[in-house]
Structure 1
Amino acid sequence: MPKILIVGGGYAGFYTAWKLEKWLRSGEAEVTVVDPLPYMTYQPFLPEVAAGSIEPRHAVVGIRRHLKKTRVIAGKVTGVNHDAKTATITPAAGEAWEESYDQIVITAGAVSRTFPIPGVADEAIGLKTIEEATAIRDRVLTNFDKAALLPPGPERDRLLTVVVVGGGFAGIEVFAELRSFVSALVETYPEIEFEDTHFHLIEAMGRIMPEVSLPTSLWVIKNLAERGAQIHLDTQLKSAVGGVIELSTGESFESDLIIWTAGVMATPDIKHYGLPLEERGRLRVRADLRVEGDDGIVEGAWGAGDVSAVPDLTGGGVGGYCVPNAQHAVRQGKLLAKNIVADLRGEGVKDYFHKNMGAVAGLGLGIGVFQSGKLAIKGLPAWFAHRGYHGLAMPSWERKFRVIWGWVNNFFLGRDNVSLEARVHPRAEFEKFAARPRPAAPAVEVPAAPASAPEPSPALVGAPASAPAPEAAVDGESSAPAAKAPRATKARTPKAAPAAE
């Protein structure tokens, strides 16, 4: 039976395996997914997770729960020898091994792309994983608890200042969602005024959200300004050392929360796979999602998602390629499954073609924007469109129900505002009070008795014969020098001899 190995369980990898389970006949092929994480993250929901509008576990899809016919391996593919059709798999526990395959699907995803700006690697946090979104939410809440006990001053301002670097969709959405979240938090902290909170977004280009029209992006800037959030256009981050933000405009301020959303890049692991890459480090694939080298198609190798440079046949992509987003990755995964099945059956494969129907973004509770061609919708209707689209796009009805039910609960009950930052070190409280065994007392080494009695030391001459027995020193009742004196006296004076006066 042919073996299909899928590297990565993100959007493209998960949907490829999910649809292969549906379209493959029984016994037609064996499918294996390798990913170090046991879930797929629905990344469009990360801004709402950071703002407490969605429960973190509801924004992820359990791989094992939904891929019932697929073999799932918790590990990483650390090397590929496509000539031998083998991949090196390093599991989460245990020794690495060589896995054979007939078809390999590279959907390893992307990571945050950063630049060597001083302080960014030490101070900033990305927004690519569910763990990062949860940490952002907890940091905001923990900082509010700290700031509520401090008098006005630099430290208080630092705790209440949020900085986002990058004005794309991800940056604007998390920026606006957090602004909405913090505005609601102020109502429960009488010690903190709305004017005490500060929001800064830094964008190197002259505009934000290139996916929407310029008038729509200007409306977003105006809306955020009215809500107390400042956007710095044509501005670069020069340094973030110690949380001190230094901008190319000369401005400087401090922040305890710096969120980096200024782009993504293909996962560096792909460099070890020995497959053809383009100049930006992405997998070279054709429009039908087959890997292509200098000599033509690489048989048995496929790619999709953020890790691959997929040609955009609509002509709307940046540089002629599909932009790395969830909308493309999901559709590419579905087509990839169809093409693999067609290839196994000797049928023709199809090219990927998807014309973007529009863009929608949530900007906090009750506020959103929608752009489709020249049509632009703003405010509450666009917010409903945002939630409706992503609520339906979430994989599986089980996940859809959890997310939508959470939104309904928040409408009536409000968002939770409790930080669980202590979860990062869950054993700290236990270790603090845990009883530990007392350290053993150091053993006192007793020297062996000499074979013949030595000459008495002048210090021992005249010592009374009734001095304590050596056993007392062994029991620790007397000091070491006192233990030596009776030993020397006993060797000099026989037990039967009368005591000297």
Structure 2
Amino acid sequence: MRRILIVSGGYAGFYTAWKLEKRLRTDEASVTLVDPRPYMTYQPFLPEVTAGSIEARHVAVSLRRHLPHTHLIVGSVVHIDHAHRTATIRSADGPEDEVPYDTIVITAGAVTRTFPIPGVADEAIGLKHVEEAVAIRDSLLTAFERAATLPPGPERRALLTVTFVGGGYTGVEGFAELLSLATALLKHYPELSFDDLAFHLVEIRDRILPELTDEPARWAIRHLEKRGARIHLGTSLVSAVDNHIVLSDGTEYDNHLLVWSAGNQSNPVVARHTDLPVDRAGLFRVRADLRLGTPYAAIPDAWAAGDNAAVPDLASDIPGGSFTVPNAQHAVRQGKRLAKNVVADLRGKKVKPYKHHSLGTVATLGLGKGIFQYRRIVIKGLLAWLIHRGYHVLAIPTWERKVRVALVWAAALFYGRDIVSLLSVQHPRAAFIAATLGARQQRETGSPAAATVPASAQPEAGPSGTDEVSATSPPDGRGD
């Protein structure tokens, strides 16, 4: 049997494996998928996870459950030697192993683009994985609890200050959803007021949402500013040391939550650890049929799709000079086409090129607010938000996940969003250790005492410098 190796289980990788299971005969080929996580994250829903509109587990699609005939390896591909048809895989426990293959499908995606800005590595959190979205949400909810116990002043304001760096879709949607959550939370905290909130969006370009045309993008800025947001265009982050934000336009302020969403860059395995051809941007050179190579010659048994591949955009008005936009809309469809082409190639049949006309762009700007554009048609507000939800609940794979997400939305219509912070879940032994030490101190001293948890069981210090957890208070900090 032919051995097919799929690198990464993101959109393109998951759909490739999913469709291969449906099309391949049981004795025709074996499929192995390698990914550091045993699930696919539906990233367009991460902003709603940060706002508590969707349960975190519902945006994670189990690979084992939905790919029962695919061999799953939880690990990372660190090197690809296509000349010898082997891939070096590092498992979660550390050892490396060479896995042979006959056909390779590389859908490794992209990684978060970062810069050596002081303080970013220590203070920022990304918005690319479900764990990060949960941590962002819990950090804001915990900050509200702490701020409600403080008198008006700099410390309270710092706790309720949030900064997003990056004005692309991920950044704007995450920013808008978190602002929506924060505004809604105020009714539950009579001690706090709208003036205590400070939400900053920092974008180095002179506009946000580059997928939209100029006027809809400007409308989005005006809309966010009316809701109290501060949009810093043509501005970059200079420093975030000790949660003190310094911007290139001279703005300085104390901050609590820093979210980094300043775009993606090529996956390092693709860019530097393979003998397959890549372009200057570190993306695979891919033909229109998703095989690696040039328009004149394909590399046998090597395929790529998604954010790690420069896929020619046959639907573009720019002949020969345009590539598909790295988004979920293309990755899902490329995965489906790739699976069909791999099966056709195995059976000696003709493969077909990938071509998809965009269905438009849509973004959520908070609960009941959104913007949609298809060519010159622009829809704003509630209808655009409904289009966003309708499209993505249909796009998320498997009926099981569609139903779960829809049920959470239905419950929210009657009961609203869940506003319970579970930040302590990231440190599940803290309360037990505190209780154990408290009991020990009581036996030794004869009087009850709040025990301090050892540093090894504590979360990292929070933005306001919290560095101690007692038996009478939950752990704090972002948990990132």
Q: Which TM-score applies when normalising by structure 1? A: 0.84
- Alpha-carbon separation, structure 1, partners of 2:369 and 2:169: 14
1:370 aligns with 2:372: yes
- Alpha-carbon separation, structure 2, partners of 1:207 and 1:98: 46
Q: 427-436 or 353-362: which moved more? A: 427-436
- Once the two structures are superposed, what CA deviation does each residue of 1:70-109 show, in whole Å capped at 9, x if it has no partner? 1111112222221211122222247432211110011111
% identical equivalent positions = 58
- Once the two structures are superposed, what CA deviation does each residue of 1:135-191 show, in whole Å capped at 9, x if it has no partner? 000000011111111112222111101111111111111111111100110110111
Hey, what does 1:138 align to over in structure 2?
138
- Once the two structures are superposed, what CA deviation does each residue of 1:365-412 show, in whole Å capped at 9, x if it has no partner? 111111001110111111110100001001010000000110001111
- Once the two structures are superposed, what CA deviation does each residue of 1:326-375 show, in whole Å capped at 9, x if it has no partner? 11111110010011011001111111111212101111111111100111
- Alpha-carbon separation, structure 1, partners of 2:321 and 2:418: 43
- Alpha-carbon separation, structure 1, partners of 2:276 and 2:228: 49
1:117: how far off? Answer: 1.7
- Alpha-carbon separation, structure 1, partners of 2:108 and 2:262: 20
- Alpha-carbon separation, structure 1, partners of 2:251 and 2:322: 37
Hey, what does 1:306 align to over in structure 2?
307
Mapping for residues 415-454 of structure 1, pairs under 5 Å:
415-434=417-436
1:316: how far off? Answer: 6.3
Hey, what does 2:273 align to over in structure 1?
272
- Once the two structures are superposed, what CA deviation does each residue of 1:100-134 show, in whole Å capped at 9, x if it has no partner? 11100111111110122222122111111001100
Hey, what does 2:466 align to over in structure 1?
none
User: Alignment RMSD, CA only?
Assistant: 1.9
- Alpha-carbon separation, structure 2, partners of 1:292 and 1:283: 9
Give the letter for the 2:242 counterpart. Answer: G
Hey, what does 1:15 align to over in structure 2?
15
Mapping for residues 287-302 of structure 1, pairs under 5 Å:
287-292=288-293, 296-302=297-303
1:121 aligns with 2:118: no
Mapping for residues 80-99 of structure 1, pairs under 5 Å:
80-93=80-93, 95-99=95-99
- Alpha-carbon separation, structure 2, partners of 1:214 and 1:97: 50
Provide the secondary structure at the position in 2 that maps to 1:337. helix
Provide the secondary structure at the position in 1 that maps to 2:402. helix
Hey, what does 1:499 align to over in structure 2?
none
Q: Identify if the C-alpha distance between structure 1 residues 209 and 319 changes in structure 2 by more than 3 Å, giving closer, same or farther.
A: farther
Give the letter for the 1:305 counterpart. Answer: G
Contact 2:177–2:365 (Cα < 8 Å) also in 1: yes
1:414 aligns with 2:407: no
1:266: how far off? Answer: 2.2
1:298: how far off? Answer: 1.8
Hey, what does 1:285 align to over in structure 2?
286
Contact 1:276–1:293 (Cα < 8 Å) also in 2: no
Q: Identify if the C-alpha distance between structure 1 residues 308 and 240 changes in structure 2 by more than 3 Å, giving closer, same or farther.
A: same
1:294: how far off? Answer: 11
1:49: how far off? Answer: 0.2
Hey, what does 1:354 align to over in structure 2?
356
Hey, what does 2:6 align to over in structure 1?
6
Give the letter for the 2:284 counterpart. Answer: L
Residue segments in structure 1 that go unaligned for 5+ positions in a row: 439-501
Hey, what does 1:405 align to over in structure 2?
407
Provide the secondary structure at the position in 1 that maps to 2:14. helix
- Alpha-carbon separation, structure 2, partners of 1:207 and 1:95: 45
Hey, what does 2:202 align to over in structure 1?
202
Hey, what does 1:443 align to over in structure 2?
none
Give the letter for the 1:155 counterpart. Answer: E
- How many equivalent residue pairs? 438
- Alpha-carbon separation, structure 2, partners of 1:434 and 1:267: 45
- Once the two structures are superposed, what CA deviation does each residue of 1:424-461 show, in whole Å capped at 9, x if it has no partner? 2211222223379x9xxxxxxxxxxxxxxxxxxxxxxx
1:278: how far off? Answer: 1.1
Give the letter for the 1:77 counterpart. Answer: V
Hey, what does 2:215 align to over in structure 1?
215
Give the letter for the 1:156 counterpart. Answer: R
Q: 321-330 or 270-279: which moved more? A: 270-279
Contact 2:287–2:294 (Cα < 8 Å) also in 1: no
Q: Identify if the C-alpha distance between structure 1 residues 319 and 243 changes in structure 2 by more than 3 Å, giving closer, same or farther.
A: farther
Hey, what does 1:67 align to over in structure 2?
67
- Alpha-carbon separation, structure 2, partners of 1:373 and 1:421: 43
- Alpha-carbon separation, structure 1, partners of 2:35 and 2:393: 25
Give the letter for the 1:353 counterpart. Answer: K
Give the letter for the 1:309 counterpart. Answer: A
1:322: how far off? Answer: 1.6
Residue segments in structure 2 that go unaligned for 5+ positions in a row: 441-480
Hey, what does 1:43 align to over in structure 2?
43
Provide the secondary structure at the position in 1 that maps to 2:275. coil
Hey, what does 1:480 align to over in structure 2?
none
Hey, what does 1:229 align to over in structure 2?
229
Give the letter for the 2:273 counterpart. Answer: H
Q: Identify if the C-alpha distance between structure 1 residues 294 and 97 changes in structure 2 by more than 3 Å, giving closer, same or farther.
A: farther
- Alpha-carbon separation, structure 1, partners of 2:152 and 2:201: 23
- Alpha-carbon separation, structure 1, partners of 2:213 and 2:119: 34
Hey, what does 1:173 align to over in structure 2?
173
1:394 aligns with 2:396: yes
- Once the two structures are superposed, what CA deviation does each residue of 1:236-265 show, in whole Å capped at 9, x if it has no partner? 212111111111211111111111111111
Contact 2:180–2:366 (Cα < 8 Å) also in 1: yes
Give the letter for the 1:85 counterpart. Answer: R
Hey, what does 1:335 align to over in structure 2?
337
1:45: how far off? Answer: 0.2
- Alpha-carbon separation, structure 2, partners of 1:101 and 1:83: 11
- Alpha-carbon separation, structure 2, partners of 1:295 and 1:207: 39
Q: Identify if the C-alpha distance between structure 1 residues 64 and 117 changes in structure 2 by more than 3 Å, giving closer, same or farther.
A: same
- Alpha-carbon separation, structure 2, partners of 1:315 and 1:125: 35
Q: Which TM-score applies when normalising by structure 2? A: 0.88
Contact 2:83–2:275 (Cα < 8 Å) also in 1: no
- Alpha-carbon separation, structure 2, partners of 1:42 and 1:319: 30
Give the letter for the 1:43 counterpart. Answer: Q
